[in-house]
Structure 1
Amino acid sequence: MSTVTTGPHGSAYGLAYDGAALLGRQLRRARNNPGLLILTQTMPITMLLFFGYVFGSALAMPGEEYRAFLVPGLLVATAANGIMTGMFQAAQDTHRGVTDRLRTLPVSRAAVPLGQSVADVLVTAAGTVPLLLVGLAVGWRVEGGALRAVGALGLLLLFRFATTWIGIFLGLLTRNEEAAGQLGGATFILPLLSNAYIPTDGLPGWLRTLAEWNPISAVTTALRDLFGNAPVPDGAAWPVTHPVAGSLAWCAVLLAVFVPLAVRRYAHGGR
């Protein structure tokens, strides 16, 4: 583990100082594991090409129209994978004793999960670029203007930040790399229970309700609206008919719940 220089951790300045130090550690960790970076960046592109050309031929939408519909959904599904990556990294540090070692240092208790979550957002931002470029190559376009597109990307990264905190808490809870890997794999089902890949208006009533109250559906609809790829659907649940407000509300709720839980769990050594 890299040496972490600590600051006056009893203040907001100390949190920022310690968080920056832990952020550097996490970025070095990502740099030293290029295989994981390549996998996480190529998987959404593979799904875009597979879903866009296979599912697109089976749905009522023409192929290019479906691919334009799909790109925002894949962006949000990738952001939701913050649960998996946050969980695995936190469980790995706990299982290998890194968390206990960091707890012996005069470091702000919130700095360690904060550094991990901010580093994850930065890596995600860089990894989003190839997916956007491939999306442009297969027919996706930004139709809503530059400012709205920037807002869409900001909302996407905020959602990734929120889901990473969920993963950090669950990783500290499991305390085991293997268990975290298996549980993290199960999160693949979350985008399937949303409008990320298909419209929800054809689903049975109970399943449509479940899908539309999935935070992924709100963020996906917000991105489609801000990018100008698809109109906001009528007659859906509130988070989908008011997607930007719904997305911000979901992010606020997730952060309000899981940030304190993760910090408290870390402060007690994952116990």
Structure 2
Amino acid sequence: MPPPAHGSAGERRLYWALADCWTVVRRDLTHLAKQPSVIAWQLGFPIVSVLLFVFVFGSAMDVGEGVDYKDYAMPGMFAMTMAFGFMNTAMSVVIDKERGVTDRFRSMPMAPSAVVTGRGVSDVLHAALDLLVMAGIALVVGWRSDGGLFATVYAFALLLLLRFSLIWVGVWLGLIAPNQEVAGNLFAVAFPFGMISSVFTPPSAMPDWLGAIAMWNPVSATSNAVRELYGNPLPVGSSWIEQNSALMAVVSPLVITAVFLPLAVRKFQRLSA
């Protein structure tokens, strides 16, 4: 589709912002298709996660009320997979920065936001693939959604919304990280972020101080919200945050996006400063 010949300056800027964003998305997807090891990791990590947490640790887990641990854990693992993805985003951004790709983009006549937004769109597509694989594995091991078609689709949309919000955290961290070694250490941040939540156990089963942190973790809100939408067991406490997980599963990602998307774009624009 050609650019608007007689449009206003704002319309032309919008056109090129979208066109340049799509160019970056195509570039990222092309690189992914040429890296079979990355694809193998994307397919293998969910399988290993299910085997480890559901079948190894799960045999000793009791979340109360006679709940089948598999039905409790699988929606949480969907959310954890989405949450952990920001590490891959940060690493990809750092690699592009070290190899001079980012500087090359900045020297080209393209929309200043395209590199950041293009990374966001391509990572959402990667996340959708991860989620598809994870859902397939869940079906194989016996998990089912009993919430109906609309509720199930909405639950997957909430999971992608969580991933979308955390992409901007990953982009920002990748832009401020000086090298790949530092970016690799982000796992030390991502691991407690995903684990101190309701992914594997209800916060009410944790010590009070740790349970309070887990309750307000955005991953917990999304985990509990999708459990409810899937019609899976949902043993939760009486706190406001736990009783309003469906609301917070939307609000928390929007707040994260509102904070970190502008930070990421601004940092990209000021890389040479």
| Worse-matched range after superposition: 184-193 or 7-16 | 7-16
- Show the counterpart of 1:109: 112
- Show the counterpart of 2:236: 233
- Show the counterpart of 1:207: 210
Q: Deviations over 1:14-43 (max 9, x none)?
A: 211111111101111211222122213311
Q: Deviations over 1:207-243 (max 9, x none)?
A: 11000111100011111111111236231342x3211
Q: How many residues align?
A: 265
- The 2-side partners of 1:228 and 1:105 are apart by 50
Q: CA deviation at 1:124?
A: 1.5
- The 2-side partners of 1:131 and 1:20 are apart by 27
Which of residues 135, 147, 159 in structure 1 aligns to 2:150?
147
- The 1-side partners of 2:165 and 2:237 are apart by 27
Q: Percent identity?
A: 34
Q: CA deviation at 1:189?
A: 2.2
Asked if structure 1 preserves the Cα contact closer than 8 Å seen for 2:63 and 2:201, the reply is no
* Structure 1: runs of 5+ lacking an equivalent: 1-5
- The 1-side partners of 2:114 and 2:178 are apart by 19
- The 2-side partners of 1:217 and 1:227 are apart by 15
- The 2-side partners of 1:84 and 1:54 are apart by 25
Identify if the C-alpha distance between structure 1 residues 146 and 99 changes in structure 2 by more than 3 Å, giving closer, same or farther.
same
In structure 1, give the amino acid aligned to 2:24: L
Alignment of 1:1-271 (within 5 A): 11-60=13-62, 65-184=68-187, 186-231=189-234, 233-238=236-241, 240-269=242-271, 271=273
Give the root-mean-square deviation of aligned CA atoms.
Answer: 2.1
Q: TM-score, length-normalised on structure 1?
A: 0.91
In structure 2, give the amino acid aligned to 1:103: R
Runs of 4+ in 1 over 4 A off after TM superposition: 6-10, 61-64
Question: 3-state SS of the aligned residue for 1:219?
Answer: helix
* Structure 2: runs of 5+ lacking an equivalent: none
- Show the counterpart of 1:3: none
- The 1-side partners of 2:153 and 2:69 are apart by 22
Asked if structure 2 preserves the Cα contact closer than 8 Å seen for 1:196 and 1:220, the reply is yes
In structure 2, give the amino acid aligned to 1:210: I
Q: Deviations over 1:30-63 (max 9, x none)?
A: 1122212221331122111221122222122599
In structure 2, give the amino acid aligned to 1:53: F
